[in-house]
Amino acid sequence: MDATHGNSNLVSLCVGQRGVVTSLAAEGIGRRRMLDLGLVPGTIVESVRRSPAGDPTAYIIRGTVIALRSEESSKIFVNPL
């Protein structure tokens, strides 16, 4: 649970599940990268594949498949759909 960001992050999405971005808990360059990928509040993200080791996970973000490490995806908060 996180009072400012809600209770789900991208890591917690199951493969095939979608979520709407609510906020980012990153600062500086890390935050910039997320914004440049199109991860702004309201964006729908779908989890599509998890690597055998469990990390990274591939997501569809605005029409492009992008792999994110849990280090990053745990900072992206979503409302699961």
What is the binding site for another protein (CB under 8 A)? 28-29, 32-33, 36-38, 62-64
Q: Which is nearer to another protein, 8 or 30 (CB)?
A: 30
Q: Which is nearer to another protein, 33 or 49 (CB)?
A: 33
Question: How many Cβ atoms are within 10 Å of 80's Cβ, its own excluded?
Answer: 14
Nearest approach, Cβ of residue 7 and another protein (Å): 28
DSSP count for the chain of H helices, then E strands? 2, 5
Q: Which is nearer to another protein, 50 or 69 (CB)?
A: 69
DSSP E strands in 14-75: the ranges are: 18-24, 44-50, 57-61, 64-68
